[in-house]
Chain A
Amino acid sequence: MEKESELIRRCIEAACQSKESVEKWRKQRRTLERLPSHLSQSLLRNLLRRRLLFPSLLEVFKYSMEEIDLRGENSVDAEWMAYLGAFRHLRSLNLGDCHRINNSAIWSIVGMTSLKEVDLSRCMKVTDAGVKHLVSISTLEKLWISETGVTANGVALLASLKNLSVLDLGGLPVTDSALNSLQALTKLRKISNQGALVLQRFPKLSFLNLAWTNVTRFPNLSALECLNMSNCTIDSILEGNGDKAPLLKLVCTGATFMNEAEAFLYIKTSSLSLLDVSKSSLSRFGILADMKMLEHLDLSSVTMGDDSVEMILCIGANLKNLNLSSTRVSSDGIGILVGHVPKLENLSLSHTAIDDVALSYIGLMPSLKVVDLSSTNIKGFILQPGTESHMDSTLTALQNLSYLESLNLEHTQVRDPDLHPLSSCKKLSHLSLKCASLTDATLHLLSSLPKLTTLHVRDAVLTTNGLDAFIPPTTLRVLDLMGCWLLTEDAISQFLKKHPQVEIRHEIVQNLSTEHQTISDRLSTSQQSLKGPQWNKKQGNLPMPEFLLYNREELLALQFSPLSLQSPHDAGSVTPNLADEEDLQLYLLEFSDGKLKTGLASHSHLSIIPIVTLGVAPSV
């Protein structure tokens, strides 16, 4: 679709200016059938963004919308659905994470003959009753109901949706018998399920998500291309007669392998291009040997050491991404890899025991673009034997990487002089550093990097003068100075004035801008793409969400906000009720040393549970 014209854009903006604006045009017409679909979409998006959308307004779009994406909108409820039910041409409806959707809400969309795709992922309130409604939509082709309240019975009901080709039942307690009844769905292409023998009936199955299920073994599916068995206990995969499936992607994050030798016996590993066995119990890596097409290999948090690296050698030819973080690989292991991974672009070695020797090996991997060396033993220099005073910067090895774009050296002991070689990395655009021994000299050094766009220099000893004197590269957009506690508000705002194109991240800045942000904006700034705390303005109490995550920034921001929390800030800054510890479980990410700095130390009544990372099951 072509871009919106200037006039149209302005019209939409004007229309979404405020509640009053909306009222004005709303009165005029009840439908917008003369508006092409893409413009309606745009208008709806803008209304959503400005929080101006409400159920009765939906009526306007009755005749012009074909697809609606209301993911994450908590205000969507039965009333909305009522209006949505009247949409004439609605083809695709996405209500994922709309927590207010319940069975009666679904009733509204009964009988919509245009509807082909419905996404109700994580709508907890939807249960079997809701499914009963869904089955009346006989045109449904794609249905996502993972992590809803649907049970096996509900799933069994789905058998009447003859046109179904994509079905996502992740996390549902499906039983074999329920699955049996799904046999009737001959068009099913994508299904995530449990109790798998019956899967043989789906010869065209190409995508299978069995995460978090109890599947231990299941039979051959010769069309299968993607298989996700994360967090399962795996006994055997794809055992059975017939052609071996040309599996392209295999995800087994966090899985437990009962019988490693047999587990992979029946997979046609030679076509596998992605293998993710991070955090799994895999200990023998002989199976890697045949995976010659492998491009993406994730072995993070797996108990492997240097001896297993040899297995990677044989398959290194096509390897583009390699994740060995949190393994027992050392610099020797990396040395073994050199020369065998010509296409390697992305290498992660964070939280391993590698040291500077590894850098020289890394420098010999010519295609590397992204390198993560955070939390390793890299110091940045090697003491030459016999001459204690003469130290070479080991980072010079990285100068050979002519494509290097991103480098993460957080939590290493690299200091200013050792960073010198980096100034000749012409393509470096992202650089992360976090070490208490870094000073202004680092900033100065890095101003010569021609393509730098994102720079993290955290926990460093940066002074106002240093920041003042820093001339950032013209491409710099983000400068993250979290933890540089010497910097003052003035220094930062001075810098911002001089270089308005750069966005600065710092605890102080966070606070300054918090004043102007709405809740929804906060939601989108969380760094790990996990949701921040969700507040409902109308309710004064704390809700009890399943996952409540603060990243470090938010927590540090707390140091500046008052602790009396019965009435949250007008602007909606995040202020949890800290007095109520039992009610609160805090899961923190990325805490470097388990201790909070400065501000929060005074809040000693706070008990924090450190370093637990929690993830949502990946929906592949």
Chain B
Amino acid sequence: MSSQKKKAFQIEAFKHRVVVDPKYAEKTWKILEHAIHEIYNHNASGLSFEELYRNAYNMVLHKFGEKLYSGLVTTMTSHLKEISNSIEAAQGGLFLDELNRKWAEHNKALQMIRDILMYMDRTFIPNTHKTPVHELGLNLWRDVVIHSHAIQSRLQAILLENVRRERSGEVIDRGLMRSITKMLMDLGPSVYQDNFEKHFLEVSADFYRLESQEFIESCDCGEYLKKAERRLNEEIERVSHYLDTRSEVKITNVVETEMIESHMHRLVQMENSGLINMIVDEKYEDLGRMYCLFRRVSSGLVLIRDVMTSYIRDTGKQLLTDPERLKDPVDFVQQLLDLKDKYDKIITSAFRNDKTFQNALNSSFEYFINLNSRSPEFISLFVDDKLRKGLRGVTEEDVELVLDKVMMLFRYLQEKDVFEKYYKQHLAKRLLSGKSVSDDAERSLIVKLKTECGYQFTSKLEGMFTDMKTSQDTMQGFHASHGSDIGDGPMLSVQVLTTGSWPTQLITTCNLPAEILGICEKFRNYYLGTHTGRRLSWQTNMGTADLKATFGKGQKHELNVSTYQMCVLMLFNDADRLSYKEIEQVTEIPTSDLKRCLQSLACVKGKNVLRKEPMSKDIADTDTFLFNDKYTSKFFKVKIGTVAAQRESEPENQETRQRVEEDRKPQIEAAIVRIMKARRVLDHNNIVAEVTKQLQSRFLPNPVVIKKRIESLIEREFLERDKGDRKLYRYLA
């Protein structure tokens, strides 16, 4: 305690304070200077806080704040210079350690100094806008120690060396690194950045550039990706342990750029291990890794997506243009489904269900499915196959699965109306031949189609089902009322088909055997009796008959044949041999049908209930037919019906297509009229656009066709051309 203070504070005395002279200031400062020295030399315990605080307080109070402050700066600076020297003197590995230690000591000292100079910090410094003590201490440390030439470069070098060592597998003192980087951050973000981070990033970039080059020469894609991932994780971990968190994104950027972005293309295209190979080999883990890594890089995913998409398209295109494949539609469609499944799986398991990939997959499918104009037909055949036999014995859930998959393919079709046409045909055949596996499955599919395309699409199909049901009821009624009449006569089962719902067929007739005619008449009368205003016409080209036939040695067989075949066979009840011409004359079956029918009766092994002379595969006008007494068959029931739906022959296909085109015309016209009615006046391009938009759920209209339709409508005075502008059309009410 300084004695001169003793006489200061007594209440009674008169205080004419002597003006404080500069010497006083100098003395006081010396005390404080000494104290600072002691603090730096770890001798603070001998000092009295109160005394020092009081001295500083007095200096500021008596307006010597400036002296105190500048003294502080000088003293601290000189101490730091000493410290700086001692750090520089440290050898090799001890450098960081010494730096760290001295830093901690400095902080401690700084705090103590700040505490005793608190009054100056509170009053003098804000008034004069000087730097507060704590900040001053940090700034001086930064300037004198860190930015001292020797230390700065050495520090940087050692830090970077440590990182390098750790990258090559050595273990380093992470705690020490942490303290040092923390110190840099405390001194200011720019200090950290300039003294460390900037260089760290540069060096890392070089390091990874080199390493990635090495790897890419020596590893295959999957291995490389593994390595890249490992390095990435390593860096993230490094940041969490001893770097500033804000460095994370920067260093990961570096790794991503050097290891991934620079080699992106090469990796993807890598022979035998690139993306395509991974897809083909279903390497889900590798694909997943690639996805995660590439995601970090801009346009990384785009690359993957593009490569994958073009591969899918190629595969699809191949599939669709391969004539071998196209021979078996069912198999073909199955291949498509398998393809879709495969990629779905890849996207789900490796690509995290990424929507953009899903979209790319969808658009690819859409693209190549429509490359082949027969796709709608094939899909319908696929469905047909499944509904006939493929889904036999399959659980309800699995049925749904298959149907959903079919629907998915259906959605890709551009010409949905073509599909509709075929589907109708195939459905008709299924219904009429009673060959559908499960009525529920059929209906389920109809519902799905309805959901997808609307009521119009499926109304006729539903009509077909209704007809079947109604026919059942009608038959019941018929048998109930006429049961007694029939007696021994043939059993008749009639399906009454509403003309509009079922696929159009040419009405053909033939001469039915007398026995049949009778009962048919009975039915006709019955039906027309209960339903007025309708016309019935027998569709003899469809229909089947079960005949009981007795052959030479008395074998009895039940033959299941078509109506035409029945007519022909019944003739042989009265004659043993008949010439072609005779048969034709009596039955009046159309030629091609007759030929086909005879072919299947006489020329097919195991089904030759007739014998043909001369024996040959084809039917000539001059052939003669005999009842084959010697016919044998293992089975009691023999089916000689017409085969199931097949893929159409070329000409048939053409025909169907034509019909489809015809059907489209009125739809286009209707669309045009609808649009013009609403818009009144519209130009050509817009009409085309609107029409396309309206019809795209069914098919893609051809602009040329649209134009023709417009002309047609103009002729019929639904529209007119504008006088001034030839491209403008006006609706005529």
> Are A30 and B14 touching (Cβ within 8 A)?
yes
Q: With a 10 A CB-CB cut-off, give which of B17, B19, B122, B127 has the most chain A CB atoms.
A: B17
A residues less than 8 Å from B230 (CB atoms): none
User: In the complex the two chains form, is A28's CB within 8 Å of B127's CB?
Assistant: no
With A and B bound together, what is the CA distance between A1 and B127 in angstroms? Answer: 7
| A595: Cβ under 8 A from any B Cβ | no
**Which residues, 1 to 35 on B, are CB-close (under 8 Å) to A?**
11-12, 14-17, 19
Closest to A63 in B: B17
Please, how many angstroms separate the alpha-carbon atoms of A2 and B123 in the complex? 8
A34-B61, A36-B61 as given contacts; A1 in contact with B15, CB under 8 Å? no
Is B606 interfacial (CB 8 A cutoff)?
no
A33 to B58, CA, bound (A): 10
Interface residues on A, range: 10 to 19
Q: Which of A19-41 contact B (CB under 8 A)?
A: 28-31, 33-34, 36
When distances are taken between beta carbons in the complex, the residues of chain A under 8 Å from B122 are 2
For the complex formed, measure the closest distance between the CB of A116 and the CB atoms of chain B, giving whole angstroms: 15
Q: A1-B127, A2-B122 are in contact. Are A30 and B61 (CB under 8 A)?
A: no
Interfacial chain B residues near A89, Cβ < 8 Å: 63
Roughly how many angstroms separate A88 CA and B123 CA in the complex, as a whole number? 21
* Cβ contact within 8 Å between B126 and A1: yes
Q: Report how far A1 CA is from B15 CA in the complex, Å.
A: 28
B14 contacts across to A, CB distance below 8 A: 29-30
- Residues facing B in A31-80 (CB within 8 A) are 31, 33-34, 36, 63
| B61–A31 CB distance below 8 A | no
User: Considering only CB atoms, which chain A residue lies closest to B20 in the complex?
Assistant: A33
Which residues in window 81-136 of B have CB below 8 A to A? 122-123, 126-127
Min Cβ gap B31→A in Å is: 19
Please name all residues of chain B whose beta carbon is closer than 8 Å to the beta carbon of A28 when the two chains form the complex: 11-12
> Looking at the complex, which one of A1, A31, A63 makes contact with B123 (CB distance below 8 Å)?
A1
Smallest beta-carbon distance B128→chain A, Å: 12
Q: Which residues of A363-402 are within 8 A (CB) of B?
A: none
Main secondary structure of the interface of A (DSSP, over half): loop
Q: Which residue of B lies closest to A38 (CB)?
A: B123
Q: In the bound complex, what is the Cα–Cα distance between A343 and B19 (angstroms)?
A: 57
Q: With the chains together, A34 CA to B17 CA distance in Å?
A: 10
Smallest Cβ distance from A62 to chain B, in angstroms? 10
**Quick one: which of B38-64 are within 8 Å of A by CB?**
61-63
What CA separation (Å) do A121 and B37 show in the bound complex? 54
**Chain A residues, Cβ within 8 Å of B16:** 30-31
B62 to chain A, nearest CB (A): 8
Complex Cα gap A33–B62 (Å): 8
Cα of A63 to Cα of B63 in the assembled complex, Å = 12
Residue of chain A at shortest CB distance from B124 = A36
Say whether B123 contacts A33, CB under 8 Å: no
Contact of B15 among A2, A30, A36, A88 (CB under 8 A): A30
Q: Given the complex of chains A and B, what is the CA–CA distance between A284 and B588 in angstroms?
A: 116
Residues of A within 8 A of B63 (CB): 89
- State whether B127 touches A88 (Cβ < 8 A): no
Chain B nearest CB, measured from A561 CB (Å): 49
Q: How far is the CA of A88 from the CA of B20 in the complex (A)?
A: 12
- Distance between Cα atoms of A31 and B8 in the complex (Å): 13
**B17: chain A residues within 8 A (beta carbon):** 31, 33, 63
Counting chain A CB atoms within 10 Å of each CB, the highest count among B15, B126, B127 belongs to B15
Once the chains are docked, how many angstroms separate the CA of A89 from the CA of B62? Answer: 11
Interface residues of A in 381-430 (CB under 8 A from B): none
Inter-chain contacts of A31 with B (CB < 8 A): 15-17
B123 — which chain A residues lie within 8 A by C-beta? Answer: 1-2, 36
- Smallest CB-CB separation from B9: which chain A residue? A34
Residues of B within 8 A of A36 (CB): 61, 123
Q: How far is the CB of A59 from chain B (nearest CB, A)?
A: 11
Residue of A nearest to B127 (CB): A1
Considering the complex, give the chain B residue whose CB is closest to the CB of A29. Answer: B15
- In angstroms, Cα B126 to Cα A1, docked, is 7
A30–B15 alpha-carbon span in the complex (Å): 6
Give A64's nearest chain B residue, CB to CB: B61
Q: Which residues of B contact A29 (CB under 8 A)?
A: 14-15
A32 to chain B, nearest CB (A): 9
Closest B residue to A66 by beta carbon equals B63
B19, A88: Cβ atoms closer than 8 Å: yes
Q: Which A181-216 residues have C-beta < 8 A from chain B?
A: none
Distance between A87 CB and nearest chain B CB, rounded to angstroms: 13
Smallest CB separation, A246 vs chain B (Å): 28
**CB 8 Å contact bits of B426-454 with A (1 = contact, 0 = none):** 00000000000000000000000000000
Determine the chain A residues whose CB is within 8 A of the CB of B62 once the complex forms.
Answer: 33
The docked-state distance in angstroms from the alpha carbon of A31 to that of B20 is 14
The smallest C-beta distance from A65 to any residue of chain B, in angstroms, reads 13
A33 to B15 CA separation, bound complex (whole angstroms): 10
With both beta carbons as reference points, the residue of chain A lying nearest to B13 in the complex is identified as A29
The interface residues of chain B lying within 8 Å CB-to-CB of A33 are 17, 62
Q: With both chains docked as a complex, state the minimum distance between the C-beta of B57 and any C-beta of chain A, in angstroms.
A: 9
Neighbouring A residues of B12 by C-beta, 8 Å: 28
Query: A residues within 8 A CB of B126?
Result: 1-2
Chain A residues contacting B19 (CB-CB under 8 Å) are 88
B547 to chain A, nearest CB (A): 94
Closest to B62 in A: A33
| Chain B residue contacts of A30, Cβ below 8 A | 14-16
How far, in angstroms, from A1 to B12 measured CA to CA in the complex? Answer: 32
Q: Which residue on chain A has the smallest CB distance to residue B60?
A: A36
CA distance A31 to B14 in the complex (A): 9
Residue of A2, A28, A30, A34 with most chain B CB atoms under a 10 A cut-off = A34
In the complex, how many angstroms separate the beta carbon of B257 from the nearest chain A beta carbon?
Answer: 46
State the CA gap A31–B62 with chains docked (Å).
Answer: 14
B690 CB to closest chain A CB, in angstroms? Answer: 42
**A592 CB → nearest B CB, Å:** 50
| Shortest CB distance B432–A (Å) | 76
Bound-state Cα–Cα, A335 to B63, Å = 62
Q: Tell me which residues across on chain B come within 8 A of A63, comparing CB atoms.
A: 17
CB distance from B64 to the nearest CB of A (A): 13
Q: How far is the CA of A31 from the CA of B19 in the complex (A)?
A: 12
In Å, the complex CA distance between A507 and B19 comes to 57
**Contact partners of B127 in chain A: CB under 8 A:** 1
List of B residues within 8 angstroms of A2 by Cβ: 122-123, 126
> In whole Å, how far is A153's beta carbon from the nearest beta carbon of chain B?
38
- Which residue of the partner chain A has the closest CB to B11? A28
> CA of A33 to CA of B123 in the docked complex: distance in angstroms?
16
The chain A residue with its CB closest to the CB of B63 is A89
Q: How far is the CB of A487 from chain B (nearest CB, A)?
A: 50
CA distance A81 to B682 in the complex (A): 97
Rounded to whole Å, the gap between the CB of A15 and the closest CB of chain B is 15
Residue interface bits A8-20, CB-to-B below 8 A is 1, else 0 = 0000000000000
Chain B residues with Cβ below 8 Å from A88 are 19
CA distance A29 to B11 in the complex (A): 8
Give the CA-CA distance A28 to B14 in the complex, in Å: 7
A571 to chain B, nearest CB (A): 39
Cβ distance B516 to chain A, nearest Cβ, rounded Å: 91
State the CA gap A509–B240 with chains docked (Å): 69
Distance of A30 Cα from B16 Cα, bound (Å) = 7
A510 to chain B, nearest CB (A): 43
In B634-676, which residues have CB < 8 Å from any A CB? none
Q: What residue in chain A is nearest B15 (Cβ atoms)?
A: A29
Shortest distance between the CB of A40 and any CB in chain B (Å): 11
CB distance from A27 to the nearest CB of B (A): 10
In the complex, A88→B61 CA distance in Å?
A: 14
Task: For residue A131, give the distance in angstroms from its CB to the closest CB of chain B.
Answer: 30
Report chain B residues within 8 Å CB of A34: 61
Give the docked Cα–Cα distance between A2 and B63 (Å).
18
Closest 9 CB pairs of A and B: A29-B15, A33-B17, A31-B15, A28-B11, A31-B17, A36-B61, A2-B122, A34-B61, A30-B15
A-B contact pairs, 11 of them (CB 8 A): A1-B127, A2-B123, A28-B12, A30-B15, A30-B16, A31-B16, A31-B17, A33-B17, A36-B61, A63-B17, A89-B63
Told that A30-B16, A31-B15 touch, could you supply 11 new A-B pairs with CB distance under 8 A?
A1-B123, A1-B126, A2-B122, A28-B12, A29-B14, A29-B15, A30-B14, A33-B17, A34-B61, A36-B61, A89-B63
